C-alpha cells in the first residue's frame, strides 16, 4: 500500500462527504491516512499531519488514546452490540447514569441515537409529540436562529440556516420561523459581546410572543455557531432565552453536538449561562472521536407526557438499529472518565490562553476582520478590506489556499470559506499550537496575495 494506489482506488469507488468530487482530481488531492497517534495523523509514506480540527470536531484526547483503547478492547471481548428495544446492557446503563449526573440539573432521561443529526430529529419529534400528547395540536413549528447548523437529515437541515447546505433542498423542507441571531461579528466597534447579545434578543422575544401558540421549541447552538463560520455570542443570550421560553411555554433545545464536552471552557456550554434546556443533544466529542453515538437528554416532565398504557398510543416509537451501541457507549464512558480523573478543563484554560496569545499577531493584519475565541475554539475571519470588513468573493476560495499550504506543511486546517479556525484535540502541546498558528499565518500570507 502506498499513497498513490490508495488514492486511485478510492476515487474509483468512494463518494466522500461534503465534497465536490471533481475537486479531488486537482484542487484538493485526497489525503490517505494510515494511522493516528495523539494529535498526529500519518499517511502511508510516513508524512505526518497535525489534526488541528479534531477530525471534524470529534476527537478530544487524541487518536489511539490508550485509556479509550483499553476500555474498547475489554468491551469488544464482552459484548459488541445488542438490540436496545426491550434489552439493556451495562455500558448503555452506566453511560445514561453518567450523562444524567454530569449534564445540567433537570435532565434526567437519556435517549440514544447514532449521530448528531439523528439526535436533532429526536429532540424535534419529542418536543412536537410532547405538545400533541398534551392536546396542544396547534404547536407544529420550530424557531431557529439565522446562521445556525443542526445537521444534514431533512428535519435537521430544515431547522438549520446555512444556505450552502440548505438551499438546494428547500422544496423538501418543513417551514420554520427564522430569527436574526446574536452573532457578535456584527456588533458595533465599541459594543461588548454582552451588550450586543442582549440587544439582539429583542427579535427572539418578539418571535416568541408572536408565535407561542404554534411553536414547539426554539433550537440553538449554545455560544458558538460552529458550521456557520465559528460565529460566537455571549451566554446572556441563553439566559434570556431560557426565561422567555418559560414565559411563553415553548421548549428550549440546546444543540451541544459540537460545543459539548469542554469545547467552550465548561463541560457543557449551557453551564456558562447557568441554564438547563428542555432537550440537550450530544454527539461528536461524546465518544472522544471514536465511534458514532449520540444522546438526547431530557427531563421527567417531558418523559411523563409519553408514559401511559400502550393502548393510548402516546409512546415515542422512534429507533435506530445501532441505538445505544455497546462499543460506542463504552468509548463515551472512557472519555468522560478522563474528564473525571484529570483536570481537563483546567489544562484547557492554559491551552486556550496559549492559543489566544499566539493569535495576537493576526490582530493588525490588513486582511483579518476579526479574531475570536471561546475556550478551545478560535477563528480568524479573512476579509478583503479591514476597515469595511468587505468579504472576499466566495468564488475565489481563499480559504482553500490556506488549506493546501497547511497540508503541505503537515497541518490539517479545514477553513470554512474565508474563516480559518482552530479546534484541536485537548492533548495538543503549546509547541504544537505554535506550529499550527505559524502555519496558518504563512498560509494566510499566500491566500491574500493578488
* Cell numbers given for 202: 429583542
* Cell numbers given for 14: 468512494
54 is in an annotated binding site: no
In the complex, minimum distance from the CB of residue 295 to ligand PLP, in angstroms, rounded to a whole number: 12
Residue 368's φ and ψ, nearest 5 degrees, are -110, 115
Site string for ligand PLP, 88-127 (x = CB under 6 A): ---------------------------xxx--x-------
Q: Say if CB 376 and CB 356 are below 8 A apart.
A: no
The three-point CA angle 164-165-171 to 5° equals 105
- Compute the half-sphere exposure of residue 392: CA atoms within 13 Å on the CB side of its CA: 24
With CA atoms as reference, report the closest residue to 216 among 285, 162, 278: 278
Site string for ligand PLP, 243-282 (x = CB under 6 A): ------------x-xx------------------------
CB nearer to ligand PLP: pick between 91 and 377: 377
118 is in an annotated binding site: no
Instruction: State which of residues 283, 335, 367, 439 lies at the interface with ligand PLP (CB under 6 A).
Output: 283
321 is in an annotated binding site: yes
CB nearer to ligand PLP: pick between 151 and 399: 151
Rg of the chain (C-alpha set) = 22
38 is in an annotated binding site: no
In the complex, minimum distance from the CB of residue 234 to ligand PLP, in angstroms, rounded to a whole number: 18
* Cell numbers given for 441: 499565518
d(CA 124, CA 160): 12
In the complex, minimum distance from the CB of residue 156 to ligand PLP, in angstroms, rounded to a whole number: 6
CB nearer to ligand PLP: pick between 241 and 448: 241
Give all strands (DSSP E) within 32-173, no chain letters: 35-37, 40-42, 48-51, 109-113, 141-145
Site string for ligand PLP, 420-449 (x = CB under 6 A): ------------------------------
Residue for grid cell 418523559? 303
Size of the site for ligand PLP (CB under 6 A): 14
- Compute the half-sphere exposure of residue 283: CA atoms within 13 Å on the CB side of its CA: 26
Cβ neighbors of 365 (< 8 A, separation 6 or more) are 386, 444
357 is in an annotated binding site: no
192 is in an annotated binding site: no
In the complex, minimum distance from the CB of residue 263 to ligand PLP, in angstroms, rounded to a whole number: 10
Return the residues of window 125-154 that contact ligand PLP according to CB under 6 A. Answer: 149-151
d(CA 287, CA 202): 37
In the complex, minimum distance from the CB of residue 116 to ligand PLP, in angstroms, rounded to a whole number: 2
DSSP code per residue over 174-205? PP-EEE----GGGS-TT--HHHHHHHHHHHHH
In the complex, minimum distance from the CB of residue 201 to ligand PLP, in angstroms, rounded to a whole number: 20
CB nearer to ligand PLP: pick between 255 and 381: 255
d(CA 319, CA 175): 25
414 is in an annotated binding site: yes
CB nearer to ligand PLP: pick between 251 and 398: 251
d(CA 442, CA 444): 5
319 is in an annotated binding site: yes
In the complex, minimum distance from the CB of residue 150 to ligand PLP, in angstroms, rounded to a whole number: 5
Report the residue closest to ligand PLP, judged by CB.
116
Give all strands (DSSP E) within 34-140, no chain letters: 35-37, 40-42, 48-51, 109-113
Residue for grid cell 422567555? 244
Beta-strand pair 224-225/377-382: unpaired
Return the residues of window 190-229 that contact ligand PLP according to CB under 6 A. Answer: 221, 226-227
Return the residues of window 14-43 that contact ligand PLP according to CB under 6 A. Answer: none
User: How many Cβ atoms from other residues are within 10 Å of residue 28's Cβ?
Assistant: 17
Q: Does 238 bind ligand PLP (CB under 6 A)?
A: no
With CA atoms as reference, report the closest residue to 434 among 346, 360, 358: 358
* Cell numbers given for 207: 418571535
CB nearer to ligand PLP: pick between 149 and 268: 149
CB nearer to ligand PLP: pick between 255 and 278: 255
255 is in an annotated binding site: yes
Question: Annotated binding residues for pyridoxal 5'-phosphate, as ranges?
Answer: 116-117, 255, 320-321
Residues at the site binding ligand PLP, with contacts judged by CB under 6 A:
115-117, 120, 149-151, 221, 226-227, 255, 257-258, 283
**Binding-site annotation, residues:** 56, 116-117, 149, 255, 284, 319-321, 414
Q: Output the known binding site for substrate.
A: 56, 149, 284, 319, 414
Amino acid at each position: 500500500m502506498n499513497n498513490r494506489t490508495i488514492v486511485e482506488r478510492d476515487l474509483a469507488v468512494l463518494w466522500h462527504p461534503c465534497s465536490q468530487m471533481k475537486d479531488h482530481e486537482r484542487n484538493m488531492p485526497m489525503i490517505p491516512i494510515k494511522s493516528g497517534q495523539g494529535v498526529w495523523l500519518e499517511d502511508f509514506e510516513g508524512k505526518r499531519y497535525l489534526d488541528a480540527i479534531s477530525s471534524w470536531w470529534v476527537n478530544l484526547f487524541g487518536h489511539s488514546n490508550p485509556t479509550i483503547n483499553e476500555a474498547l478492547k475489554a468491551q469488544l471481548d464482552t459484548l459488541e452490540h445488542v438490540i436496545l428495544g426491550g434489552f439493556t446492557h451495562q455500558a448503555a446503563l452506566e453511560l445514561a447514569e453518567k450523562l444524567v449526573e454530569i449534564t445540567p440539573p433537570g435532565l434526567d432521561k437519556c435517549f440514544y441515537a447514532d449521530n448528531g443529526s439523528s439526535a436533532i430529529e429526536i429532540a424535534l419529534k419529542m418536543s412536537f409529540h410532547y405538545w400533541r400528547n398534551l392536546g396542544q395540536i396547534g404547536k407544529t413549528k420550530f424557531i431557529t436562529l439565522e446562521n445556525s447548523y443542526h445537521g444534514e437529515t431533512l428535519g435537521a437541515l430544515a431547522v438549520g440556516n446555512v444556505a450552502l447546505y440548505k438551499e438546494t433542498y428547500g422544496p423538501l423542507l418543513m417551514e420554520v420561523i427564522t430569527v436574526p441571531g446574536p452573532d457578535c461579528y456584527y456588533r458595533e466597534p465599541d459594543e461588548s459581546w454582552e451588550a450586543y447579545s442582549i440587544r439582539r434578543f429583542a427579535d427572539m422575544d418578539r418571535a416568541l410572543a408572536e408565535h407561542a401558540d404554534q411553536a414547539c421549541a426554539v433550537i440553538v447552538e449554545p455560544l458558538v455557531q460552529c458550521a456557520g463560520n465559528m460565529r460566537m455570542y455571549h451566554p446572556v443570550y441563553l439566559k434570556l432565552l431560557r426565561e422567555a421560553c418559560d414565559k411563553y411555554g415553548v421548549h428550549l433545545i440546546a444543540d451541544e453536538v459540537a460545543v459539548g464536552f469542554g469545547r467552550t471552557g465548561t463541560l457543557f456550554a449551557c453551564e456558562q449561562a447557568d441554564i438547563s434546556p428542555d432537550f440537550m443533544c450530544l454527539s461528536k466529542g461524546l465518544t472522544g472521536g471514536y465511534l458514532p453515538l449520540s444522546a438526547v437528554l431530557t427531563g421527567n416532565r417531558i418523559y411523563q407526557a409519553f408514559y401511559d398504557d400502550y393502548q393510548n398510543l402516546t409512546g415515542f416509537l422512534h429507533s435506530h438499529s445501532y441505538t445505544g451501541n455497546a462499543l460506542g457507549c463504552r468509548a463515551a464512558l472512557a472519555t468522560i472518565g478522563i474528564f473525571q480523573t484529570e483536570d481537563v478543563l483546567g489544562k484547557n484554560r492554559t491551552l486556550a490562553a496559549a492559543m489566544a496569545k499566539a493569535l495576537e499577531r493576526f490582530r493588525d493584519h490588513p486582511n483579518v476582520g476579526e479574531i475570536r475565541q471561546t475556550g478551545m475554539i478560535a477563528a480568524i475571519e479573512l476579509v478583503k478590506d479591514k476597515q469595511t470588513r468587505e468579504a472576499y468573493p466566495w468564488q475565489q476560495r481563499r480559504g482553500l489556499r490556506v488549506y493546501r499550504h497547511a497540508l503541505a506543511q503537515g497541518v490539517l486546517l479545514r477553513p470554512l470559506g474565508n474563516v480559518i479556525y482552530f479546534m484541536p484535540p485537548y492533548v495538543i502541546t503549546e509547541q504544537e499550537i505554535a506550529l499550527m498558528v505559524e502555519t496558518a499565518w504563512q498560509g494566510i500570507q499566500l491566500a491574500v496575495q493578488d
